[in-house]
Amino acid sequence: MEDMVRDMRTRFLVALLLSIPITLWSPIGRDLLGFSVSAPFGLRDDVFMLVLSLPVIFYSAWIFFDGAYRALRARTLDMMVLVAVAVGTGWLYSLFITLTGGGEVFYEAATVLATFVLLGHWFEMRARGGANDAVRTLLELAPPRAVVIRDGVEVELPTAEVVVGDLLLVRPGAKIPVDAVVEGGQSEVDESMVTGESMPVSKTPGEEIIGASINISGSLRARASKVGEDTALAQIVAMVQEAQNSKAPGQRLADRAAFWLVFVALIGGTGTFLVWLAVGASVPTAILFAITVVVITCPDALGLATPTAIMVGTGLGARRGILFKNATALETSARIDTVVMDKTGTLTKGAPEITDVVAQGMAQDEVLALVAAVERESEHPLARAVAVRAAEAAVPVHLASDFRNVAGHGAIATVQGHRVVVGNRRLMTQENVELGDLGQVRDELAAAGRTAVLAAVDGRAVAVIALADAPRETAARAVDALHKLGIEVVMLTGDNEATARRIADHLGIDTVIAEVLPGDKAEKVAELQRSGKRVAMVGDGVNDAPALATADIGVAIGAGTDVAIETADIVLMRSDPLDVPVALRIGRGTLRKMRQNLGWAIGYNAIALPIAAGVFYRSLGLSLSPEIAALSMSGSSVIVAVNALLLKRLRLPQQPATTVPKRASREAEPPGSAPAGNR
């Protein structure tokens, strides 16, 4: 893009420098100066202007003739055809007059016209280059060089030469060159530039690291797993570029309108020429009005109206970790009035965590130490949650013996000489454990939507441990932001009605559709669409993929499955539900700019065309010269491009800092949901 901008600037400067003397030696220039100067070398004025015009026509303006040739070969009409016709007609007519012995020529009209159009194109390309900043910034994230260990020797080489299987050495403070899997070392990695995650992520052997992220603390040895176009960064860049180069429905409409506008301009220019001849005007006058009509109706602004807005919108999303896969997704997102959100993993964290530990007859830490010893032997998700809580509480670590898993009910083991039973009410009944007051506590917690696990030591009930899949920290803010946009929010879940309703009430969600089988989610989305709603579906799992495909817009949480991400139209790299309203706000802002630009382009042509044709010339003396027409046409294009760039100033919610959630008391904790397979 930068090379193209430089080339356009050079063409413009050549045209400008030569158009100035051409204009000064023209009749218009002599009128402005008040006196005439003879052309140098004894040349006639028209011959001198012809010589100066040659580089303008055959270098600076040649891109218009080449573009027109390509368009006609493709059997289409575009603004290149109009500019080529306007410049070529004025120059060829002037050449004919010069070769046949003199008369009024239009070299200054042809060259100044080319100069102003080139100026407009230069500004447009600079504006579009600015809209591409997001892609350029992403490309610059990857480090240029990498340190590879080969045959036990550290070798520094260009990142492009790293191959899959190379062992990388990533020192503290260095950027990770490509996607890799950690084989040695432990460190914190800042992935914010790629994923938007503000907090460093701990990396240990066996875990994946993303190219272009920054190694913060420890030294890492990692095996390259993806290089070149296969890296996560390259995929993100490709997705953004594809979106910027794709065409939205509005743009396709503008392209068709531009085609017919060119057709009308050519017919209008011919008709203007014939009408002025018919009313007695001279051939030069008729040609000037015809050229002005052709120039003023160039659909350059119309052609820029939507692509520039799309480029800015997709770039703005990329900076926030929101990837629009194509322009259609960007435009369609602006029309959404209903957002359907999956519960588990989207509105909630997708993993159970302890919300309450109610101990009786034994200290809470002592209970946690005994129960955790049992649960460390289990692979159940609830068991892992207990082990994590025990580690956070820094309770003593005990070893369990004689461990026995009771399928569907819990586990039993010996810890510190005590027989510890952890599980559900049925297991306690089998073990002849009387629950007493803890039975009522267990029922209250279960009624609140939590999974209640009972613990008994040596045949005596000692605690109830409640677990829940807690809402994400930003879920309530996301729902509130959607409401402020006038959007209805629907929770779609396979969970039971009571649990889903409690979470929905806590988050402020309007409608709950619960107890839905995975295969039926798409049908529920289709039902909403049949009722006249424009639906966006937000999900993260394999079972969400059909619903994502069915919805008008599918939005995938970035931490979700590959299937969900591939099916979706929008990917939220930060896995934050608060980015859903941000994406819709970007879509609305982009569509607003597209409409403003289209309105300006169409209105400009509607007003300028009759003036250019000379409709008001004899009655009001109002007319436009080809040069002024070219300047106003270029100015219109620049206005459209700059207006699109103003989208960068769209006010979006500030990205919240990621914090470690605090453990709250039972009363303060928002209601969670009971994960499948309760014990």
Active-site positions read: 342
Q: How far apart are CA 613 and CA 618, in angstroms?
A: 11
Half-sphere exposure of 247 (CA within 13 A, CB side): 10
CA nearest to 520, candidates 552, 504, 543: 543
Provide the token pair at 30. Answer: 């002599």
Measure the CA–CA gap between 215 and 163, rounded to whole angstroms: 20
Distance CA 197, CA 658 (A): 7
Q: Give the chain's largest Cα–Cα span.
A: 121
One-letter amino acid of 91: W
Q: Which residues of 337-355 are buried (b: 16+ CB within 10 A; e: fewer)?
A: ebbbbbbbbbbbbbebbbb
Question: How many angstroms separate the CA atoms of 653 and 580, rounded?
Answer: 11
CA 210 to CA 230: how far, in whole Å? 11
Are the beta carbons of 71 and 81 closer than 8 angstroms? Answer: yes
The beta strand positions in 78-217, using DSSP E, are 145-150, 153-158, 167-170, 179-184, 187-190, 201-203, 208-209, 214-215
Per the CB < 8 A criterion, the answer to whether 438 and 461 are in contact is yes
The CB density around residue 677, as the number of other CB atoms within 10 Å, is 10
Q: What does the angle CA 215 – CA 219 – CA 225 come to, to the nearest 5 degrees?
A: 70
Is 222 within 8 Å of 179 (Cβ atoms)? Answer: no
What is the pairing mode between strands 167-170 and 220-226? Answer: antiparallel
Smallest CA-to-CA distance from 422 within 362, 381, 462 is with 462
